[in-house]
Amino acid sequence: MSQFSLPNGLTVVLLPWASLSATAAVGIRSGSRDDPVGFHGSSRLLNGSLLAGVNHFGEHAFFRATRRHPTWAELARDADSLCSNYNAYTDWSTQLYVMESDRRRVRGMLRLLGEIIRSPRLTAENVAFERERIRQECREFNDEPQERALLDLHRLMFPANGLGHPILGTERTIERITIDHLRALHRRAFVGRRMVLVLAGGFEPELVKPVIRQVFGPIRAGTSPPKHSLDFHEVKGGLHLFRDGTHQLHCLVGWPTPGVRDRRRPAIGLIRNMLSHRTSSWLKLGLDSFGHGYSLSDTCCGLEDIGWYSIYFPMSGDHLREAAQIIGRQLQRLREHLVSTEELDLAVTNLSIDTRSRFSEPWASAMFAAQQVLNLGRFIPVRQYLHLVRGFSRRQLRTIAREVLDPQRMTMVIRGPVNGLRRAQILRALDP
């Protein structure tokens, strides 16, 4: 593994190992929380235009055509001659542009990826096409009760900043995004000081370094990304019910957490593993006692300054109180008692297996490393991360669980046929 910076500030991480494929990921430190945001989370430019979703819109438009490949058909044909897979993504803090190829075509892949990053072709026709695609994505999003519940959770936990609006934007906000907004976004964010390139898998470092310098070196340095400084202690929790026309209740419970720069962050992975992530986790086994363990899922996300951990479980209303009691008891168990040595050993083992398995693939490794460098400022190899995980004692885990899983900061969202649900009963069940 090697990490270095080009003169323009662009960070390069090379992760070579014996593999027939290689993945290149360019990460841009600009995500939905960086959409221009005004007071109370309303996303505005100085002229008053709502711009929630502009980073996601840019990701679509920039991956559509280039000056050398002026149509999607031409770009896709060349990409298909070099790559087995290619895509782009936007989350709360980053944009990612990712390509995968076999080890013989890595240099050609890097040149094409650099072309997309440096010289996207923005036309009225392309922008109109992508606007319609995003409009369809917004409608698909609104058809998914789990997605709407997760957005509810973010709006309630982070009401006064960009983390509380949808990554996609809304049909109303995307109508107001123009070519000029996208060009301004590209000028501001696609610069060396806000960019990282990760190459993972099968390649020869000394053969790709000249291509990286040639392709990505001319990118101007630009300015450093803005610093964010949310404090998870300041988030206030609560129980919120939303009537929806679904057959089942869609329930989310979540907590704000420290960001990735906090030394406690690796311990949250252990807490998550024991509580909700693995198949034999306490909550999955508990909810499985009445048929709902298989449908439980969780999310754990960390940005530079803050993160969140949430658990989703759909179920019928007649089981909600029992589920809340199980959740309350297991949270109390983590906060008030030392986990057994056996439980801690199993969590460390399962987390190690899961981490090593996931990052044995170049695609996952390149994407994760790019996001990590943009949020943390450096890349932490798997071996070093697992060493940090093993360093937490049972007492330290209890202390961190008490602080992170604080009932005062817990937000619960229930969407669906909520008529007849009694808030007081649910709150009592969650706090045994």
Mean pLDDT value of segment 215-226? 96
The per-residue pLDDT for 293 is 60
Conformation bin of residue 66: beta by default, left when phi > 0, alpha when psi is -120 to 50: beta
The per-residue pLDDT for 165 is 87
Mean pLDDT value of segment 246-252? 93
Residue-wise pLDDT for 137-188, tens only, equals 999 999 999 999 999 999 999 987 789 889 999 999 999 999 999 999 999 9
Of 294-298, 369-373, 375-379, least confident by mean pLDDT is: 294-298
The per-residue pLDDT for 160 is 76
Average pLDDT over all residues of the chain: 93
Is residue 254 over pLDDT 80? yes
Superfamily of domain 232-430 in the CATH hierarchy: Metalloenzyme, LuxS/M16 peptidase-like (3.30.830.10)
Q: Where in the chain is the domain with CATH 3.30.830.10?
A: 2-216, 232-430
Coil, helix or strand for 299? strand
User: Which helix H or strand E contains 340, and what residues bound it?
Assistant: none
Instruction: Look up the pTM and report it.
Output: 0.93
Q: Which fold has domain 2-216?
A: Cytochrome Bc1 Complex; Chain A, domain 1 (3.30.830)
The per-residue pLDDT for 292 is 66
Residues 6+ apart with CB under 8 A from 226: 34
Which of 177, 167, 87, 70 lies closest to 130, judged by CA?
177
Residue 50 banded pLDDT, cuts 50, 70, 90: low
Residue-wise pLDDT for 72-127, tens only, equals 999 999 999 999 999 999 999 999 999 999 999 999 999 999 999 999 999 999 99
Residue 61 is which amino acid? A
Q: How many Å separate Cα 283 from the centre of its chain? A: 23
Which of 372, 370, 374 lies closest to 362, judged by CA?
370
What span, in angstroms and rounded, lies between the C-alpha atoms of 111 and 212?
Answer: 8
Of the chain, the end-to-end C-alpha distance in Å amounts to 49
Is residue 47 over pLDDT 70? no
Is the CB of residue 120 less than 8 Å from the CB of residue 65? yes
What span, in angstroms and rounded, lies between the C-alpha atoms of 218 and 228?
Answer: 28
Mean pLDDT value of segment 242-251? 93
Is residue 274 over pLDDT 90? yes
Which of 63, 253, 226 lies closest to 152, judged by CA?
253
Q: What is the DSSP letter of 50?
A: B
Is residue 215 over pLDDT 70? yes
Is residue 288 over pLDDT 90? no
Is residue 256 over pLDDT 70? yes
What span, in angstroms and rounded, lies between the C-alpha atoms of 196 and 97?
Answer: 11
Residue 45 banded pLDDT, cuts 50, 70, 90: very low
